[in-house]
Amino acid sequence: MAKGPRRDVLKERRWREIISGLACSGLSVRAWCLQQGVSEASYYAWKRELARRDEEAGEASPRFVEVVVGDARSSTDLMTMGEPLRIHFEDVRVEVPPSRPHHEFDPRPL
């Protein structure tokens, strides 16, 4: 027998996309919510709810996630083009300077 109310999978997926999209947008929460047509209160309520659900399911936020950069070009192609790789997530900003071709890249200093 199922416990509690049934979850709306599409609504949950939409909110996960909205919340994760903020990190890539470079916008403030307020500006992002305005652009997405949602209230800040709903954003924060869903952020808490999804964190609670993930914790309940044993799916705490991952420490490492795969990042896909660009469109058809590989991330190593972009790294050798002279532009730094910029990662923005909430209040954290990381910039990785362009490096040598990937076959010469040594991740140990990172």
CA-CA distance, 67 to 87, in Å (whole number)?
A: 10
**Structural domain containing residue 23:** 9-56
Most confident of 40-44, 56-60, 71-75, 81-85: 40-44
1 within domain boundaries: no
CA-CA distance, 85 to 104, in Å (whole number)?
A: 17
86 within domain boundaries: yes
What 3-state class would DSSP assign to 28? coil
Indicate if 43 and 70 belong to the same structural domain. Answer: no
Residue type, 40: E
The full DSSP string for 47-94 is HHHHHHHHHHTT-PPPS------SSSS-HHHHHTTTPPEEEEETTEEE
Q: For residue range 45-65, list pLDDT tens digits in order.
A: 999 999 888 888 876 555 666
Indicate if 46 and 70 belong to the same structural domain. Answer: no
How many domains is the chain built from?
2
pTM > 0.85: yes or no: no
Please give the span between the terminal C-alpha atoms of the chain, in angstroms, as a whole number: 49
CA-CA distance, 55 to 61, in Å (whole number)?
A: 8
